[in-house]
């Protein structure tokens, strides 16, 4: 119960990794604001599951690329809970439909950069500013090991996650010493989106597994523990950090 008595906001929590993180924080004692953009039914289901764990939950809707939406979402979460102690920036766009760098699509480039960079910036700025006013908090952004490996499939995805690291370090310095800001860099996670990818079903999974020294591709639930570590007092002296969590996939020589 490392987050007992605290409140959290998890973006993109209506399904996939965000769902697992929201439930994982609740199991550690946190009340949770479950953000969604279009997955309203999924978000309500997650909120019901959180209440079933004995924690408070509220759903909040926003397009995180809109400042107006983000400010409305933040205000709604604060109106319900009074404060937000933990923010998990989970929303991201890996352009899963793109199979090769040769498939140059300006709309897809703009969509990924808008979501991953602008969206993460707006939410971090809005919630982090309020955390400063309340006297403290912890922000964790879900990044990716793609900043180490690169992405010949979708180069804009790697560029966007480099942007998340830049935001992490910048806000860590701006919000110090009371609000910590860190990023986690998982590798492939077997979410619904990953499992539905054409390349994943046609051999990519086997290639990734063969290149992973720990010989495992995690499920969303396996990512909860490092997120909780970065969000709780166990990492009290850590800010501006990027923690790679990919089973050794991106390790030199792996």
157 classed as catalytic: yes
Please write the tens of the pLDDT for every residue from 175-196: 999 999 999 999 999 988 888 8
Please write the tens of the pLDDT for every residue from 25-80: 999 999 999 999 999 999 999 999 999 999 999 999 999 999 999 999 999 999 99
pTM of full prediction above 0.85 = yes
Domain borders along the chain are 7-245
pLDDT band at 254 (very low <50, low <70, confident <90, very high): low
Choose the catalytic residue: 157, 162, 171, 245. Answer: 157
Please write the tens of the pLDDT for every residue from 147-177: 999 888 889 999 999 999 999 999 999 999 9
Residue 23 has pLDDT above 80, yes or no: yes
- The length of the chain in residues reads 254
Fold of 7-245: Rossmann fold (3.40.50)
């Amino acid at each position: 119960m490392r987050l007992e008595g605290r409140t959290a906001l998890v973006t993109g929590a209506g399904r996939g990794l965000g769902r697992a993180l929201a439930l994982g924080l609740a199991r550690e004692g946190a009340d949770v604001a479950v953000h969604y953009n279009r997955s309203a039914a999924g978000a309500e289901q997650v909120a019901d599951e959180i209440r079933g764990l004995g924690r408070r939950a509220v759903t909040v809707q926003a397009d995180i690329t809109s400042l107006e939406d983000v400010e409305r979402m933040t205000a709604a979460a604060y109106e319900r809970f009074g404060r937000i102690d933990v923010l998990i920036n989970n929303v991201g766009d890996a352009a899963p439909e793109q199979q090769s760098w040769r498939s140059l699509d300006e709309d897809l480039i703009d969509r990924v950069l808008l979501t991953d960079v602008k969206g993460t910036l707006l939410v971090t700025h809005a919630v982090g500013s309020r955390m400063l006013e309340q006297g403290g908090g912890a922000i964790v952004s879900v990044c990716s090991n793609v900043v180490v490996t690169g992405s010949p499939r979708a180069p804009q995805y790697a560029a966007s996650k480099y942007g998340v690291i830049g935001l992490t370090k910048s806000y860590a310095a701006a919000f110090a010493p009371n609000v910590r800001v860190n990023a986690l860099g998982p590798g492939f996670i077997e979410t619904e989106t990953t499992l539905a990818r054409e390349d994943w079903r046609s051999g990519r999974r086997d290639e990734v597994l063969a290149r992973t020294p720990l010989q495992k591709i995690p499920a969303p639930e396996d990512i909860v523990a490092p997120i909780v570590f970065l969000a709780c007092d166990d990492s009290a002296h850590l800010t501006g950090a990027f923690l790679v969590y990919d089973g050794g996939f991106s390790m030199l020589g792996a």
